[in-house]
Amino acid sequence: MAKVNLHTVAAHAGVSTATVSKVVNGVRQGISAETVMRVQEAVRMLGYRPNRTARELRTLQRSIIGMTIVDPSPMFLADPFTTHVAAGLSNRLSEKGFGLLVHGVKPKQINDSFLVRETVVDAICLMLSGSAASRRSTIQLFADLGQPILVFQDKPSIEAADVCYVNQDDAGGADALARHVLRRNPASTLIVIPKIFWPAIEARLDAIWQCFKQAGRPARILRCDENNREAIAQAITDNIDRHGLPEAVMGSNDRIAAIALRLLTAQGVKVPEQVAVTGFNAFEPYSQDRVTLTSARSPAFELGQLGAELLLARLRAGAFERLEYTLPVSLVEGTSA
Amino acid sequence: MAKVNLHTVAAHAGVSTATVSKVVNGVRQGISAETVMRVQEAVRMLGYRPNRTARELRTLQRSIIGMTIVDPSPMFLADPFTTHVAAGLSNRLSEKGFGLLVHGVKPKQINDSFLVRETVVDAICLMLSGSAASRRSTIQLFADLGQPILVFQDKPSIEAADVCYVNQDDAGGADALARHVLRRNPASTLIVIPKIFWPAIEARLDAIWQCFKQAGRPARILRCDENNREAIAQAITDNIDRHGLPEAVMGSNDRIAAIALRLLTAQGVKVPEQVAVTGFNAFEPYSQDRVTLTSARSPAFELGQLGAELLLARLRAGAFERLEYTLPVSLVEGTSA
DNA sequence: CTGAAAGCGCTTACAG
DNA sequence: CTGAAAGCGCTTACAG
C-alpha cells in the first residue's frame, strides 16, 4: 500500500494540505464544521498517521527525552532504582505526548554515544555511576552539548545554567536510620555496601559514618560485589568470622539487608534482639520470619516524575527555574532495628 | 549561541553542504584527504552535531524502535522480566545506532498512544498482559498500522506477515519443573500465581497442570495480588490453613517461591524434606538458609537481544524471515525441590 | 473560511 | 573530486 501523507488526504478531501494539517492538529479556528468532517472522514478512510519526523523538523522539537545510564553492565536497566526512575519519567512524559528514549552506555563509550554525537532528543537525563571525577567530566561533556541536562542522584558539580540536579535526600534518610540504630548504643556496627561506586550510596555511607563518629560509636565498612547474592552472603559471613558478630548491620539497600537478615537468622541470631538490621529503598515492604525490615523509603518513581515535569517546564520556559531539587526520604520503621 | 547546521559548517570550511554531509557520514569516496581534514576541523571548531530529525526525514527511517508495555500499573517498567527484555533490546539496538523508546500504557489508553496515532518509530515491540481476547485485539490494532511488529511472550494469534512472535519455552520450563517435582509423588501440590493475567504465566500454569494430570496427581491453584509481598504471604498462609500443608509449592516466579520458602521455614517446615518449593526465572541464583531455589532460567535478556536482531534484519530485508521464535528455558536444580 | 508558498536540516542522484 | 538542486512530510505566517 502506498504511503499516505498530508497530500493524499488533502486530495481525497478536496482541500489544501494546510487545512488537513490544522484539522489533524485540532486547530478548529477558522475552519467550517463541514470541512472538518470531510477531512476527518478522509483521514479515517485512508488510515492516515501523521509523520512525526516531519513535524519535528518543521517545529524543531523532537518531543523525546533521552535517558542515559552510564554503567559498566549491560544490565543497566535491571536495577530497581533506575527502573523506578525511568517508570516515573516515562509515565509523566507520556501524558504530554513525549517519549522516553533509554540508552545504556559503558563508561568508555560515552563519547561515541549517538545521544552525544547527534541531536536526537530535546533534553537528556543522566544517571551516573563511577568516581566523582569521572561523573564530573561526563556531566561536563553533556553540558557542553548545549541541550538541557537533568542529572539524577548526583551532587551538583558542574555549575551550568542548563544543568539541573534532582536528588533524594539520601543523607537525610541515612542519618535517620543511623540515629535509629544508635539508640541502642551498638558496640559494633557493620555497614555493607556494593563495590561499584554510585554517588547515592556514598552519600548514605557518609551520613551514617558522620553520625556514628559524632556519637563516638565504631563502625566498619564492607564492600562487596553486588551482582551476586552468594558473594554478598559470603562476604558478610567472612567478615563476621574475622571480626565477630556486630550489634547492627546496615545495608546500603534492602537487597543487601535482606541477605544479611536471612544469614543471621539462619545462624540462630535473633533480630533485632542480638543484631539490628537496616536497609534502604523500601520499594516494597520487606519482611521475613515475622520481622519486618527497618529501612528508608526512596522516592525513585517520584524522582522520575519530578524530572519529567522539570524538563517539560524547561522546554517551555527556555530555562530551568531552579537548578537543584531534593525529595525527602522517610524512615520506614520495621521490627528489624 | 546560534544553531550550527550543515550550512554553517560548509561556509566555514569553504565547501558545499553535500561535501560536509559526506564527510560527516564517513563517505570518503571521491573526496580529497585535504577536504576531509578541513571539514572535520570545521566540525570540531563549531561543535557541529548532525540533526537526526532532518536525516530521518530525508531517509525516511527513524532508527528508533518502540517498546509498548500494556499494563494497568504505571510501574510497568519495574517488572524484572520486562526490564531484562528491555535491557537486551536496548543493548543490541545501541550497537547499530538505534534507540529504544519505551512506552507504558494502560489497557484503556492504547488507542490514544502516540505510537499508534502517529508514525514515530520504525517498528514496535509489544509486551502484553490481559486476557487472550484483549491481547489479540491489541496485536491486531498494531498489525493494522502497517509497521513491523514484534510480540514478546505471547502465543501467535494474529497471522500477519509483519508480526513476529518471540517467546521463551515457558511450557517446556514448567514441564521440566513439574516432572522434577513429580518424582517425589506429592500427595498435594500448591501452585501460586499472580492475579494479573500474563500469557507466559498461563503457559507455565497449563504445562504444570497437564503434567500433574497425566501423572494422576492433584494440584490446587492459588491466585494472589503480586504487587504486595504481604498479600502473597497471607494468601499462602490462609490456603495452607484451609487445605493443609501441601507436599510441594510451585511459584510462578522466584519472588513468589522465595516468599513461600521463607514462610514455610519460619513455621519450622523442612524444605525440601516436608515440602518441595520451586520458582521460575532464576535471574540470579536464589538461596536462603542454605537451601537453594530450584527454578527455571528465563532468557529474558536474550529474548530482548534476539528481538533487536530480528527487527534490524526485518528493516533491512523488508520482511521477517520467520514469524516465530522460541528460546529454551532450562531447569535450574537447587536443593529446594 | 481557505490555500499558496516558504522552509525546517538533511541526503543523494546527477552533472560537471 | 566537488557542488547545485530536488525533495523527504510537515507547519505556519500571510494573503485573499
Class of B64-168+301-327 in CATH: alpha beta
**Coil, strand or helix at A217:** coil
CA A3 to chain centre: 39
Share of chain B above pLDDT 90, in %: 78
Q: What is the mean pLDDT of residues B171-179?
A: 97
The alpha-carbon gap from A212 to the nearest alpha carbon of chain B, in Å, equals 31
Q: Nearest-CA neighbor of A307 among A95, A89, A63?
A: A89
Whole-number mean pLDDT of chain A? Answer: 92
B275: Cβ contacts below 8 Å, ≥ 6 apart: B245, B246, B247, B248, B249, B264, B269
Burial class (CB in 10 A: 0-12, 13-18, 19+), B107: middle
CA of A112 to C1' of D2 (A): 29
Q: Whose grid coordinates read 564492600?
A: A223
Class of A170-297 in CATH: alpha beta
CA B7 to chain centre: 43
Q: What is the mean pLDDT of residues A227-234?
A: 84
The answer to whether residues B39 and B69 touch, using CB atoms and an 8 Å cutoff, is no
CATH of A6-50, one of 3.40.50.1970, 3.40.50.410, 3.40.630.40, 1.10.260.40: 1.10.260.40
> Per-residue pLDDT tens for A113-156?
999 999 999 999 999 988 889 999 999 999 999 999 999 999 89
Spans of all domains in chain B: 6-50, 64-168+301-327, 170-297
The answer to whether residues B113 and A49 touch, using CB atoms and an 8 Å cutoff, is no
Q: What is the mean pLDDT of residues B73-96?
A: 90
The alpha-carbon gap from A313 to the nearest alpha carbon of chain B, in Å, equals 20
| CB within 7 A of nucleic chain C | A 14-19, 30-32, 34-35, 54, 57-58, 60; B 3, 5-7, 17-18, 21-22, 24-25, 48, 50-51, 53-55, 57-59
Q: Nearest-CA neighbor of A89 among A69, A105, A71, A75?
A: A69
**Closest nt to residue A18, judged CA to C1':** C3
Q: What's the pLDDT score for residue B31?
A: 87
Question: How many other β-carbons are positioned within 10 Å of the β-carbon of residue A29?
Answer: 6
Q: What is the mean pLDDT of residues B95-109?
A: 92
Contact across the interface for B99 and A120, Cβ inside 8 Å: yes
Q: Which residues in chain A touch residue B88, judged by CB atoms under 8 angstroms apart?
A: 74
Q: What's the pLDDT score for residue A2?
A: 63
Which of B100, B144, B227 minimises the CB distance to A102?
B100
CA of A12 to C1' of C5 (A): 21
Q: How many CB pairs under 8 A join A and B?
A: 158
**Cα(B274)–Cα(A54) distance, rounded to whole angstroms?**
65
| Topology alike, domains B64-168+301-327 and B170-297 | yes
pLDDT at position A290 over 80:
no
In the structure, what pLDDT confidence band is assigned to residue B284 with cuts at 50, 70 and 90? confident
Question: How many other β-carbons are positioned within 10 Å of the β-carbon of residue B270?
Answer: 10
| Nearest chain B alpha carbon to A95 | B113
Share of chain A above pLDDT 90, in %: 78
Which strand ranges, in their side-by-side order, compose the sheet holding B248-251?
Answer: B220-224, B189-194, B248-251, B276-278
Q: What's the pLDDT score for residue B228?
A: 77
| Nearest chain A alpha carbon to B54 | A57
Q: Mean pLDDT lowest for which of A162-171, B168-177, B281-290?
A: B281-290
A64-168+301-328 maps to which CATH number? 3.40.50.2300
**Coil, strand or helix at A293:** coil
